[in-house]
Amino acid sequence: MDTTWRVAVAETARTDLLDRKAATLATFASLLASLTATVGVRFVNEADAMWALVPFCSGLALLVGSVAFAVFALLPVEFVSLGTAYLERFPTWSEIVKPVEQVQGDVMLTLVEAVTRERKRNRGKARSVRFGFVALLFGLVLIAGEAAILATRNVFA
């Protein structure tokens, strides 16, 4: 029983960690996307060519995608734990007269089901956060390349 509770607590801690990472990613990527949209228009106007539009739009799309992946990981879901109706039965005589082992077994079954569902959700969250960071990385590469081209054009023009 103790091991089951420890696993449940560890899985909840993992959920909290993934949520913090997703919130940080969403904040950073959304700030970067808004700055890129504002400053990137200058790059596209100065270059005045189709080749300038492609890295700008691609980089911006990747940054927005990064925000979308992070927000998807942060979508609220039902908290998984022992149900209220189940807990409300504990002080009733039908539960009090049950053997302790049976009550512990019922609680363990419920906890194992909760941990299983939480792990499944955490796998999805982790995948979403991972894709968000990859999109952020590629978006940053495109935006940095865009800035380098603009700087080179301004220096050598």
What are the pLDDT digits (tens) for 37-83?
Answer: 887 777 777 767 777 788 888 999 999 999 999 999 999 877 666 67
What's the predicted TM-score (pTM) here?
0.77
pLDDT tens, residue by residue, 107-137: 788 888 888 888 999 999 999 999 999 999 9
Which pLDDT value is given to residue 157? 66
Report in angstroms the alpha-carbon separations of 101 from 97, 105, 108: 11, 6, 10
Contact 140, 67 (CB under 8 A): no
Instruction: Tell me what pLDDT residue 106 has.
Output: 78
**Sequence-separated (6 or more) residues with CB below 8 Å from residue 111:** 4, 5, 7, 8, 82
Average pLDDT over residues 88-102: 80
Give residue 109's pLDDT: 82
Which range of residues forms the domain containing residue 34? 2-156
* Percent of the chain whose pLDDT exceeds 90: 39
pLDDT higher than threshold 80 for residue 148: yes
Domains contained in the chain, number = 1
Widest CA span in the chain: 88
Distance CA 56, CA 144 (A): 10
